[in-house]
Amino acid sequence: MKSERDRTAGPAGFETMAIHGPSEERPYPYRAVSPPIVHSSTFRFEDIDAMRTEMDDAREGIFYSRRNNPTSLDAEQRLAMLEGCDNGALFACGMAAITTTVLSRVEAGDHVAVFKDIYGGAVNFFTNVLPRYGVAVTWVDTNDYAGLESALQPNTKAIYFESPTNPMLKIVDLERMGEIGRRHGAALIFDNTLATPYLQRPLDWGIDGVVYSATKYLCGHSDLIMGAATGAAEWMDGVHNTRYVFGGVIDPHSAWLFSRSLATLAVRMERHCDNAERLAEFLVSHPQVERVQFPALAEPEQRALAERQMRRYGAMIGFEVKGGGDRADRVVSRLRHVCLGPSLGGIESLIVEPRYATHRRMTREQREALGIGEGMLRLSVGMESVDDLIADFTQALEG
C-alpha cells in the first residue's frame, strides 16, 4: 500500500537527517532501507534525448561516475542536508577537496589571503604549489582581523582559514569573517574538519564554502580516505566542474560507507566531546603538563566565541609536557591505549607530535612562532572508557 505520509514537512533534527538522508524525497529501489551501492562506471539511456537531459544537468545528472554516481550523489546530498545547504561534493581525500575548491575560485593574477594557523598539508599547497600557477598568497596571523583587511587587495578572490585551528585550537569569529568577506567581495573558504557540521555550521555565519578532510570525524573509523566540500548550489557548480576536470572522485563503495558513518556522527561526537572535557580537566591539573590548548580552557573571549558558534568544544586537545621534545617522546612511547598516529577523528584515541607530522616541513622557529613547542602533543580523544584514558596518561606522564 502506498503511504499517504506528508513528505514535504520541514527539516528534521540533525540525527534524523543523518540517518534517513534524502531518501524521504527519493525512495531507494526495491524498497531498500539502506542506500544501494551502484557499482557502475557508466549509464545507458533509452534515447538521445534522455542522455542529453542527464548530461546537461551538471548538479545531479547521472551518465558517468566521474561526474555523478547514484550512491555518491545520495551521500553528497546527505552531507548537504546536515550542513544546511544546497549541494555537496565528495573527493578522494581531504587535500583533493581543499585544492579543488580553491582552484575553482582563482586563476592566474588573483590573490588569496590565508590565516597562518592551518593544517600542514594546506600550508604546503599555499606555499609551494598555488604560487606556481600565478596566484599570489599573503599569510596573516590568525585572528588578526585588522591585519587581514590590510592584506586584502582589489584582486583578492578568496580567504582561507579554519576553526578550531590545527593544532593550536584557536577559535575564529565566523560572523566577523563573514562581514569582512562580504565587504571586500572575497569568497570565504573554511575548513570545518575538527568541528564537523554537528558541532558547527559555518554557512549559517556567512561562510561561502566549507571543506573537510572527511577521513577524520565524518568517516570516523580510521578506515577511509575521503574529502568533502559543501556550499550553495551556484558555489558548488564551480567545485563540481573543477572536480570533473581533475578527477578526484570517490568510488561508490566508499560513498556508501560514508553515508553509514554519517548516521552515527551525532552519537560519536557527543561521546568524543564528553571524553575530551574530562581528559582536558585531568591534563590541566597534572604537574607534568606545562599548558593545555582546549576551547573550554581558553581565555574568556575565545571560550565565549566557541560557546556562541559551536554546539560543544570539540574533541581535540593540544598540550605541552614539561621537559621538551625528549620528554614528549617518552610520554608517547609509554601510552598503552592511545595510538601513536598522524591522523585524528577516529573512534580510537590518536596522539602525535606536530613537529614530526603535521608541521614537520616547518622550521623550529616557524613552529614556535605559531606556539608549537618541541614538547607539544596533539591528542584526538577517542571513544574508549575515559577512566582508562586518564589512567593511561597518568602512568605515561609519571613514568
| Residues with catalytic function | 66, 119, 191, 216
In sequence order, the β-bridge partners of residue 136 are 111
Peptide bond preceding 154 in cis form (omega within 30 of 0): no
Distance between CA 173 and CA 163 in Å, rounded?
A: 9
CA angle, 201 as apex, 24 and 359 as ends, to 5°? 125
Check: CB of residue 220 under 8 Å from CB of residue 272.
no
Determine contact, residues 230/83, Cβ cutoff 8 Å. Answer: yes
Query: Which run of H or E residues covers position 187?
Result: strand 187-191
Residues 6+ positions from 251 with CB-CB distance below 8 Å: none
Nearest CA-CA partner of 315 in 210, 386, 212, 393 = 386
> Sheet harboring 316-321: ordered strands across?
289-293, 316-321, 376-380, 350-352, 339-340
In whole angstroms, what is the distance from residue 153 CA to residue 290 CA? 40
Amino acid of residue 192: N
From the centroid of its chain, how far is CA 111? 24
Say which amino acid occupies 146.
A
Q: Which three cell numbers mark 32?
A: 531498500
Cα dihedral value 39, 42, 47, 50, nearest 10: 80
> Peptide bond before 164: cis, by omega within 30 degrees of 0?
yes
Q: How far apart are CA 309 and CA 174, in angstroms?
A: 8
Question: Per the structure block, which three cell numbers stand in for 264?
Answer: 552515527
3-state SS class at 228? strand
How far the first Cα of the chain sits from its last, in Å, is 67
